[in-house]
Amino acid sequence: MNPVIGQCPICQDQLQVTQLHCGSCETSINGHFSLGRLHHLTPEQLEFVETFIRCEGKIKRVEQEIGLSYPAVRARLSAIVLAMGYDLDGDDEDDTLVDMNRSEVLSRVASGELTAKEAAKIIRNL
């Protein structure tokens, strides 16, 4: 089976599930169903989340597994938090985002470390 996608490949808007089907009894249910927050993530972000969970949330292990620095891992994690529709907690502000300027965010987009959508959300919070 192919994985469910969360974004429209034409306009990039969020997709909506309108039918559920049971292959066993052939029951179909029509309506509007949410895909959940994880479907707001890109395939690369989902891969990062899987790595983060596999490493039990230990950033040092994530650094070693994917070969990125601590600030890069924190930046990706913060971008994922924003992509899922959550705000970054102001009391425990992410030093990576505070220290980043627009040109650094743009260079991370150019290197593929961040998507344009993630960068836009980060820049709005600078």
pLDDT in tens, 20-48: 999 999 999 999 988 788 878 888 899 99
Residue 93's pLDDT is what? Answer: 42
For residue range 54-97, what is the model confidence (pLDDT) as tens digits? 999 998 999 999 998 888 888 889 889 988 888 876 544 445 54
pTM equals 0.58
* Residue 58 backbone dihedrals phi, psi, to 5 degrees: -90, 110
Contact 119, 108 (CB under 8 A): yes
- What are the residues whose beta carbons fall under 8 Å from the beta carbon of 55, sequence distance 6 or more? 61, 62, 65
**pLDDT at site 91:** 44
